[in-house]
Structure formats: structure tokens, C-alpha cells
């Protein structure tokens, strides 16, 4: 199993990632504001299923890659660092928009809400990078089964994401109104997240091979 330090560090990474604007947050906010909290929670159920699919694919696939290909860990580490830098730039680039800028969405059935949440997550490149590039940074082969470590970290990420997104669904309307009235807060949020992501990228890029 992962060490307590690894679990805590990965939880912070997962928290930063879920708070970074992306397709999931934009969809859940817009759906919650346009159709209500129940619709937002149903959509979040689909998003959660997408996380499970990604986690299982990554856990079994990465376990094989790390042991089969020399320097695979280093390649994944550098790729993860570069992707975090890209996310940091997306957060602070000129003209960036807050995910709480609501899109108009039609009223859909619960089945379609769940399916759209699922598809939105599967097509989200940020989640793919989370599992394929960032999650392996917190694996220590000396700590036991790599597969079990990947599964434990994956479930931790899912718990963090669902918890945060649930709060976003229930407060989306209020946050959207507040940011519309106080645009400086939206700018500050983007720069804070950009700085955090850039710091994580630097840590990962300079970390010695395990």
C-alpha cells in the first residue's frame, strides 16, 4: 500500500486538479445552474463512472508498462510535468474564462444526463493525463504491489473529485453570481491554480528516479 506521505501528497494533487477549470467542471456547473442540483448530481454520477473506467484501465496498463519497458517511469514523469505546465498556462493565459461562466443547456432526461457526464469525463484529456502521467509519480515498487498502490490512489482521487464536485454542484449558482459581481476573484483563482500547478510540475520534473 502507498505510504501516508504518498497518499497525502497525491490527495493534494487530486484536489488541485479537480479545482482546475476543465470540461467536467464546466459541464457540471452549467448543468446545475440550468437544470438544478438533482440534474447536476445525476451528471456527476456519470462522471464518477468515467473515473472508475480510467482508473481500472490505468492500473492494469501502467502496471505492465512500468515493469516491461526500461525508463518508462522517467518518460511518464516528464510527460506529467509537461502536462501540468500546460494546465498552468491554460489557467493564467490572457483571455481565459472562468468555468462558472454558464453555458445554456437544454433540459435532458436522467438517462441522458448520466450518459453525458460519463462521456464528458471519458473525453477529458485532463483526466487521462492524471491517471497515465501523474498517478505513477506516487508509486513506490518497494512499498508492495504496484497494482494495489495504483488502485488505492485511484480510489482516493475519485473520492476527492466526487466530494469537491458535489460541493460545486450545490453551490454553482451562488458562485456564478458572486464571480459575475466580483470578477477580480475569478482572476485570482486562475493565478493561484496556475502557480500551484507550475510548482507541482517543477517538483515532478526534478524528482529523482525511484
pLDDT, one tens digit per residue, over 89-114 is 766 776 655 555 555 667 789 999 99
Residue range 68-78: mean pLDDT, rounded: 63
Pick the range with the lowest mean pLDDT from 7-11, 12-16, 186-190. 186-190
DSSP assigned state of 99: T
pLDDT at 162 over 80: yes
Q: How many CB atoms lie within 10 A of CB 83?
A: 21
User: What band does 115 get if pLDDT is binned at 50, 70 and 90?
Assistant: very high
pTM above 0.75, yes or no: no
Q: How far apart are CA 130 and CA 142, in angstroms?
A: 22
pLDDT recorded at residue 210: 46
The DSSP code sequence of 159-207 is HHHHHHHHHHHHHHHHHHHHHHH-HHHHHHHHHHHHHHHHHHHHHHHHP
Closest Cα to residue 190, out of 17, 15, 20? 20
Amino acid at each position: 500500500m502507498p505510504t501516508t506521505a504518498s497518499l497525502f501528497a497525491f490527495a493534494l494533487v487530486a484536489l488541485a486538479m479537480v479545482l482546475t477549470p476543465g470540461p467536467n467542471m464546466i459541464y457540471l456547473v452549467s448543468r446545475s445552474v440550468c437544470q438544478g442540483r438533482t440534474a447536476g448530481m445525476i451528471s456527476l454520477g456519470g462522471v464518477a463512472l468515467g473515473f472508475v473506467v480510467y482508473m481500472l484501465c490505468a492500473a492494469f496498463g501502467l502496471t505492465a508498462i512500468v515493469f516491461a519497458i526500461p525508463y518508462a517511469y522517467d518518460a511518464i514523469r516528464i510527460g506529467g510535468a509537461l502536462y501540468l505546465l500546460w494546465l498552468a498556462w491554460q489557467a493564467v493565459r490572457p483571455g481565459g474564462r472562468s468555468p462558472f461562466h454558464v453555458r445554456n443547456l437544454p433540459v435532458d432526461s436522467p438517462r441522458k444526463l448520466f450518459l453525458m457526464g460519463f462521456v464528458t469525463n471519458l473525453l477529458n484529456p485532463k483526466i487521462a493525463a492524471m491517471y497515465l502521467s501523474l498517478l505513477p509519480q506516487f508509486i513506490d515498487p518497494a512499498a508492495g504491489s504496484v497494482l494495489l498502490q495504483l488502485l488505492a490512489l485511484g480510489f482516493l482521487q475519485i473520492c476527492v473529485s466526487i466530494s469537491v464536485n458535489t460541493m460545486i454542484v450545490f453551490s454553482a449558482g451562488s458562485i456564478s453570481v458572486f464571480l459575475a459581481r466580483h470578477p477580480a476573484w475569478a482572476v485570482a483563482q486562475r493565478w493561484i491554480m496556475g502557480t500551484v500547478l507550475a510548482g507541482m510540475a517543477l517538483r515532478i520534473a526534478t524528482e529523482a528516479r525511484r
